[in-house]
Amino acid sequence: MRDARNGSAPTGPTFAEIVDRRLTRRAALAGAAAAVPVMVFGGALAHAPSAAAYIGESIGFSPIALSEEDTVLVPPGYSWKTLIRWGDPLFPEAPALDLDNQSQASQERQFGYNNDFVGFFPLPDYRYPVSDRGLLAVSHEYVNPELMFPAYDGENLTEKQAAVEMAAHGATVIEVFEAAGEWLYSRRSAFNRRITAETAMAVTGPAAGHELLQTTADPTGANVLGTLNNCSGGKTPWGTALLAEENFQDYFGNAGGIDACDPRRAVHERYGLPAASSELGWEKFHDRFDASKEPNEPFRFGWIVEIDPYGPDSTPKKHTALGRFRHEAATVVIAPDGKAVVYSGDDQRFDYMYKFVSSRAYDPHDRAHNLTLLEEGDLYAARFEEGGTGCWLKLAAGEGCLADWSAADVLINTRGAADLLGATPMDRPEDIETNPVTGKLYAVMTNNTERAEGDTDAANPRGPNAFGHIIEITEEADDPTAAAFTWDIFILCGDPEIEEHRAYYAGYDMTKVSPFANPDNVAFDARGNLWIATDGQPERLGKNDGVFAVPTVGAERGYARQFVSAPAGAEICGPEFTPDNRAFFCAMQHPGEGGTIAAPTSTWPDNTSPAKPSLVVVTKAGGSRVIGS
């Protein structure tokens, strides 16, 4: 729960009024929507070279049904395989996973835990849409120690277990290729890499070196060890991956030990650091995770981290210019004037959506220049108004209600700055992605069960919101740098057959859709269809999580069809296509969560306990056909 609320008293319209209004607008727009023209949208089409040929085509697979089976299910004609799993060796000399003999050294050479973001980077060069060989950048968000260590006892964490856990975080870069219709990964690739909670990183931007980033181990405030809780992420047009540090607060214990008058304590409280022990207990062995001993270390997390998958020896960079919050993901588009725009949600109940606009323009011929684009720019928070309009509030240090704030203050305490400016508290903003065909933005709110019935607004119209929703946003003049936007509710998730869910699927006939709940990470195919991965259906719908494909334009706009069903206990992350859309990657995260090794709730993928977080690749007809065609 957030610690401070802002905004006016609840005066919003009722749910019925909102849906009525949306439906009326939708009817008026229906004819135009069916014939929406293809727009060239900055550099986004660089990722979808043949998009124009496909827009409006329907999705051609038979949807599967919600399931409780402890396996992966895909539609008829499709097949899936486990490409890599937790503990698989990444290098020729790396050991196989040995549950009883885990070590930091071995985990640093193996695929990490709880895979989340997946980004495909073609080989030999990001500029060419090669689809049968590439690098996958995969983030490892968190660990389930009860499913990693036999006889795990959280009250008696050992230093060795903590070291393995730290090595299981971060990211993996792994070369993958398709041969005779089968996807494999290479143990011998020179690109293979592990990034962990102890990998050396540089800090860039206005907050680099600030006194709040200085610690005993790093008096420069510009060299951080590691990255934590890397949730989803993004890809840049210059061939790098952005890792989003999400729930970093969970790793720091004892913030309650900071002097009550110390202003740092209030910031840590706004960001949800626990007053007592952390969730995993690493502070037992490492002072930097004890906020009472190193009160600045938490300020060194909660950033967007840029890694270069093509440079296995490159130093990851934490970009302070993009602000500090629980970054779910980071989606990059190039505006007509060449500026790089990065959208990112702060995944907490009643927190905000943000965008960053670079000061300098992207240069397709100068990668070294592009690698500095995220070091300087302006940061904005979203405000949604009744009636489908909205604006981006500039978090401008030294101006207005931020008159007394420095640039570093704004970036380190981004939430506090957005509080003062009156950004709109959202229902847990997760992924935000741009449709490569239309340029519209789709912002995913996964749920907010703490929103009261009388505390709704037009953009967050259900209280409580157990099932989540998706907002469709159009930047003014289709310019991602615009100060204003219009928006609409695209989908209110839930089961249409249960009236209390109050579901809405873009006005489509709800007797035909595959119901889904708790959208989290999304991806677009080259035709502009939205592919939605969920996190939370076991609790909300009593069925496993899944992937759902939804056209965004044309007669089938809103027609959700289920494409994948996850193993028991898993959420699905990182939906990602190869450039030719003939392979679909998704990350099965935390299968078996809720169980233990001795009392498993899942044995996926190898029919053994523990279940293992694993990356899955889905193909059609042996990889010869486009997914969804």
Which residues contribute to the site for ligand FEO (CB under 6 A)? 141, 231, 246, 328, 347, 430, 520
The residue count for binding Ca ion (CB under 5 A) is 3
A 10 A CB-CB count for 598 gives 10
Three-state DSSP state, 515: coil
- Provide the minimum distance between the beta carbon of 573 and Ca ion in the complex, in angstroms, as a whole number: 6
Which is closer to ligand FEO, CB of 445 or CB of 492? 445
CA distances from 25 to 15, 33, 295, 488 (A): 15, 11, 51, 9
Query: Toward Ca ion, which CB reaches closer, 409 or 520?
Result: 520
Stretch that binds Ca ion, among 37-45, 470-478, 534-542, 579-587 (CB under 5 A): 534-542
Separation of alpha carbons 164 and 118, rounded Å: 22
Stretch that binds Ca ion, among 119-127, 356-364, 472-480, 531-539 (CB under 5 A): 531-539
Considering only the C-alpha atoms of the chain, give the largest distance between any 2 of them, rounded to a whole number of Å. 65
Distance of CA 318 to the CA centre of its chain: 17
| In the complex, minimum distance from the CB of residue 575 to ligand FEO, in angstroms, rounded to a whole number | 13
Q: What are phi and psi of 183, to 5 degrees?
A: -90, 135
Cα dihedral sign for 556, 558, 559, 563?
A: positive
- Helix and strand tally (H, E) in the chain? 8, 31
556 binds, among ligand FEO, Ca ion, none (CB under 5 to 8 A by kind): none
- Give 256-303 as a DSSP string: GGS-TT-HHHHHHHHTT--SS--SS-GGGT-GGGBTTT-TTGGGG-SS
Residue 87 beta carbon to Ca ion: minimum distance, rounded to whole angstroms: 22
The residue range among 25-33, 226-234, 368-376, 379-387 that interacts with Ca ion, by the rule CB under 5 A, is 226-234
User: What are residue 476's DSSP bridge partners?
Assistant: none
Beta carbon nearer to ligand FEO, 141 or 294: 141
Q: Is 520 in the site for Ca ion (CB under 5 A)?
A: yes
433 scored as a contact of Ca ion (CB under 5 A): no
Minimum CB separation from Ca ion for residue 47, in Å?
Answer: 21
Shortest CB 355 distance to ligand FEO, Å: 18
Shortest Cβ 429–ligand FEO spacing (Å) = 9
Which residue's CB is nearer to ligand FEO, number 231 or number 471? 231
Q: 506 or 533: whose CB is closer to ligand FEO?
A: 533
Instruction: Tell me how far apart the alpha carbons of residues 488 and 122 are, in angstroms, rounded to a whole number.
Output: 35
CB of 64 to Ca ion, least distance (A): 22
Judged by beta carbon, residue 135 or residue 244, the one nearer Ca ion is: 244
User: Which C-beta is closer to ligand FEO: that of 347 or that of 479?
Assistant: 347
Complex with ligand FEO: residue 297 or 520, whichever CB lies closer:
520
CA dist 558 and 442 (Å) reads 13
Nearest one of 304, 178, 306 to 241, comparing CA atoms? 306
Which of ligand FEO, Ca ion, none is residue 141 near (CB under 5 to 8 Å by kind)?
Answer: ligand FEO
Beta bridge partners of 317: 202, 306
| Residue with Cβ nearer Ca ion (51 or 231) | 231
Phi/psi for 450 (5° steps) reads -95, 0
Three-class secondary structure assignment of 322-363:
HCCCCECCCEEEECCCCEEEEEEEECCEEECEEEEEEEEECC
SS3 per residue for 87-132: CCECCCCCCCCCHHHCCHHHHCCECCCCEEEEEEEECCCCCCCCCC
The three-state secondary structure class of 475 is strand
Closest distance of CB 77 from Ca ion, Å: 29
427 binds Ca ion, rule: CB under 5 A? no
Least separation, in Å, of the C-beta of 517 and Ca ion?
13
Name the minimum Å distance from CB 520 to ligand FEO. Answer: 6
Write the single-letter amino acid at 127. R
Question: Nearest distance from residue 114's CB to ligand FEO, in Å?
Answer: 9
Applying CB under 5 A, which part among 380-388, 402-410, 532-540, 554-562 lies near Ca ion?
Answer: 532-540
558 versus 592: smaller Cβ distance to ligand FEO: 592
Q: Which residues pair with 530 in a beta bridge?
A: 524, 550
Span interacting with Ca ion, options 93-101, 229-237, 310-318, 470-478, rule CB under 5 A: 229-237
The one of ligand FEO, Ca ion, none whose footprint includes residue 246, by CB under 5 to 8 A per kind, is ligand FEO
108 binds, among Ca ion, ligand FEO, none (CB under 5 to 8 A by kind): none
Please, what is the angle between helix 263-270 and helix 414-421, to 10°? 80
Closer residue to Ca ion (CB): 481 or 521 = 521
C-alpha–C-alpha distance, residues 303 and 323, integer Å: 7
The correct pick among 479, 495, 535, 576 for binding Ca ion (CB under 5 A) is 535
Residues that bind Ca ion (CB under 5 A): 231, 520, 535
